[in-house]
Amino acid sequence: MRLAIIGQQAFGKAVLDAFLARGDTVAGVFVAPEPPGARPDPLKAGAAAKGIQVFAPESYSTPETVAALKGLDVDIAVMAYVLKFVPQSFCTVPKHGTIQFHPSLLPLHRGPSSINWAVMLGRTQTGLTIFRPSDGLVEGPVVLQKTVEIGPDDTTGSIYFDKIFPLGVAALVEAADAVLAGTARESVQDEAQATYEGWVRAAEAHIDWAQNVGLIYNLVRGCNPAPGAWTMAGGRRLQIFDARKRVAGRFAEVKGMKPGQVVAVTDKGFTVHAQGGFIDVLRCRFDDGPKIAGNEAGLAAGTILGK
């Protein structure tokens, strides 16, 4: 097939490599403009190394950008990782239109932090969707879906890099083949089941130690590796990354424990009391410093986090 790829970063590069490895013709690549001094985008660099035309439009709505896609004369356009709005005037240019990747089981988690929210809300499954982009927010017909399990200790990072990333690359290739072959069965999304959540940023990543230990652990997992669940420790912001949850047991006999209290320090990390159990912190970071092992944080037993 002859196609154009719209995307960026490592996922976009992996999609490019997957199509080229099969012998498909990637006629052009559209990437996000790079700010001055930014590290070269992997998709842009990969395409340039193969002698593929690269476009970096500020907008996909301009006549010039639409004309650029028309000039490529492609069978299909594949949106691998796109944060900009792409209008129908662009998406409908290829002979077989455009397909797009989204890392959730649409219509669930239509927002930009879809994997984070699936973990933070305690779901045991998520997945990815290949769909037809529309002028709505990932509201177009579904072409293909793949489901992945969320393990009890999975993080946003492990779900994306170990599960959704490789499965998503293969799914875009599979969906493109089905569309060109005329065998794709597109289905309308059920709006009654739709959810939307915004970006997970600092406000959403703040730890309330008075909450149940399960909710706190889901927050930590869902914010790992970014933006990092955080609390205050001695006037400094402490982000928690690698951690484990334990229900009340080993320290149940300790009297007067308070939410957010450091109750033990080991050779691997430190343990914090929460409602119904404990969080073992194995990796953390103060302010903008480097990530460190939990036992390097210098927190003594009795310290109250969150103050």
What pLDDT score does 252 carry?
52
Helix (H, G, I), strand (E, B) or coil at 90: helix
CATH homologous superfamily of 2-193 equals: Formyl transferase, N-terminal domain (3.40.50.170)
What pLDDT score does 307 carry?
75
- Report how far residue 306's alpha carbon sits from residue 214's, in angstroms, rounded to the nearest whole number: 18
What pLDDT score does 137 carry?
87
Question: Which tokens hold the place of 255?
Answer: 């009297």
What pLDDT score does 38 carry?
83
What pLDDT score does 256 carry?
79
Range list for CATH 3.10.25.10 in the chain: 202-296
What pLDDT score does 251 carry?
53
Range list for CATH 3.40.50.170 in the chain: 2-193
What pLDDT score does 221 carry?
98
Question: Which tokens hold the place of 113?
Answer: 């932090």
Q: Identify the burial level of 69 via C-beta atoms within 10 angstroms of its C-beta, where 0-12 means exposed, 13-18 middle and 19 or more buried.
A: buried
What pLDDT score does 283 carry?
98
Q: How many CA atoms lie within 13 A of 170 on its CB side?
A: 7
Helix (H, G, I), strand (E, B) or coil at 239: strand
- Report how far residue 269's alpha carbon sits from residue 249's, in angstroms, rounded to the nearest whole number: 18
What pLDDT score does 270 carry?
98
Distance from CA of residue 268 to its chain's centroid? 28
Give the pTM: 0.94
CATH homologous superfamily of 202-296 equals: Formyl transferase, C-terminal domain (3.10.25.10)
What pLDDT score does 37 carry?
82
Q: For the chain, which ranges sit under pLDDT 70? A: 249-255
